[in-house]
Amino acid sequence: MRADGAVEAVFRIEQARIIAAVARVVRDVGIAEELAQDALVAALEQWPESGVPDNPGAWLMATARRRAIDLVRRRETYARKLAEVGRTLEDTWPPPEPADPDDIDDDLLRLVFVSCHPVLSTEARVALTLRLLGGLGTDEIARAFLVPEATVAQRIVRAKRALAKAGVPFEVPYGAERDARLASVLEVIYLVFNEGYAATAGDDLLRPGLCEDALRLARVLSGLMPKEPEVHALAALLELQASRTATRTAPDGTPVLLADQNRARWDRLLIRRGVDALTRASALGGVPGPYALQAAIAACHAGAPTYEETDWATIAALYGRLAALTPSPVVELNRAVAVSMAEGPAAGLALVDALAAGPGGAALKGYHLLPSVRGDLLERLGRTREARAEFVRAAGLTRNERERALLEERAARL
């Protein structure tokens, strides 16, 4: 591999750890990212002549840390901080790798909590997390979410400024604050995965790169926080959902409904990993949280030989528990689908109509899956004219071109 190619490959792998370690010194994620980039530039300048080091990751880490220490030294206002840093870091060239790799992991965990701090908007948390922890460039994030690159760049810059202005400490919170902040971290990873699993807009139903990034972040977090059941539960949910990715679209990109997917092509390794993660979450005890309940639902699907043999009664019950824990019209809509499979389409339609007529109906007014589900239930009941109208309405609401084409095809078939 050419030296410049090696630099880029190693930096993408080590970037999050380098930023995390440097941020512990300078206490500013924006400056930490700049110093990490400086180390990248130094490698691009030196490696083609000196050759790729035996431990390129350690080289980049050492360079970034040394520049961080130099920066602190140049700032008189950071004199006290330098004294603290001097007691914990060796200013040698090149410094050895930390004796305990958990030191870096602790830094990485701090970076996770900072990137997902509630002081930031959801969009800013997602962009900053993918930038600092996922290693994605602004152009990659922009392509993934179908927004202009300038918009993503502005979100990231504003996020860094907001963190600095709020004086967000570079530390892992504890107690009640930790629980609240962890919920934000898990939400960001979940949102990233969902956008990749079922894109809200654009020409493609799936964006596998986002699913992979979210899955990697979930795995890292479960390793950093092994005693948190909902962390393992989220990892389980994403592993199980990702196991179906290859079968969710036809070769031409057309969406394939769950009932029509070839289960022989579901990824058994991911299913096994998901079940193992769910087992770890359960072993930690406590009342199952929202991700544990969703993972249990996904496990029911993964364990069913066919769509018809799925344990729909258990899935409906799990959705009922999920609705009680985190009330949501979307959860109620999913429960109605499960009930329709367990008790018949008439029972499901009654729940959907009650949902549409109640407060949840207003929340789902622009949600294309409400008329889509209703159309499916009406079709199963033989009320084809009404079903066709619902599919047409659903097609007009979705912003995803693949979903729109599928809904229009179902309407035309009726």
For residue range 154-213, what is the model confidence (pLDDT) as tens digits? Answer: 999 999 999 989 988 888 887 778 877 898 899 889 888 887 777 565 656 567 777 888
User: How does pLDDT run across 311-362, given as a tens digit for each residue?
Assistant: 999 999 999 999 999 999 999 999 999 999 999 999 999 999 999 999 888 8
Mean pLDDT of the chain: 85
* CA dist 137 → 90, 127, 153, 190 (Å): 32, 10, 9, 20
Strand, helix or coil at 341? helix
- Which pLDDT score is estimated for 276? 97
Nearest to 32 by CA among 24, 40, 43, 42: 24
Tokens matching residue 384: 């084809």
Inform me whether the pLDDT recorded for 271 exceeds 90: yes
d(Cα 192, Cα 214) in Å, to the nearest integer? 6
234 falls in which pLDDT band (50, 70, 90)? very high
Task: Give the mean pLDDT of 63-80.
Answer: 72
Three-point CA angle 48, 53, 57, nearest 5°: 110
309 CA to centre of own chain: 30
Inform me whether the pLDDT recorded for 40 exceeds 70: yes
The type of residue at 231 is V
Higher pLDDT, 263 or 363: 263
The type of residue at 220 is V
Inform me whether the pLDDT recorded for 138 exceeds 90: no
d(Cα 196, Cα 203) in Å, to the nearest integer? 13
- Which pLDDT score is estimated for 278? 97
Residues composing the chain: 414
24 falls in which pLDDT band (50, 70, 90)? confident
Tokens matching residue 147: 């927004």
Contact yes or no for 291/230 (Cβ under 8 A): yes
- Which pLDDT score is estimated for 78? 42
Inform me whether the pLDDT recorded for 94 exceeds 60: no
Contact yes or no for 252/295 (Cβ under 8 A): no
Higher pLDDT, 205 or 130: 130
DSSP string, 148-169: -HHHHHHHHHHHHHHHHHHT--
- Which pLDDT score is estimated for 228? 94
d(Cα 115, Cα 168) in Å, to the nearest integer? 10
Inform me whether the pLDDT recorded for 84 exceeds 90: no
pTM listed for this prediction: 0.76
β 201-202/399-400 pair status: parallel
103 falls in which pLDDT band (50, 70, 90)? very low
d(Cα 200, Cα 400) in Å, to the nearest integer? 6
Nearest to 375 by CA among 402, 406, 401: 406
Tokens matching residue 40: 């990248």
Nearest to 289 by CA among 237, 359, 363: 237
Task: Give the mean pLDDT of 249-274.
Answer: 92
Inform me whether the pLDDT recorded for 104 exceeds 50: no
- Tokens 């994620």 belong to residue: 29
Inform me whether the pLDDT recorded for 381 exceeds 80: yes
Higher pLDDT, 116 or 265: 265
Inform me whether the pLDDT recorded for 96 exceeds 50: no
Share of the chain above pLDDT 90, in %: 43
92 falls in which pLDDT band (50, 70, 90)? very low
102 falls in which pLDDT band (50, 70, 90)? very low
- Which pLDDT score is estimated for 83? 55
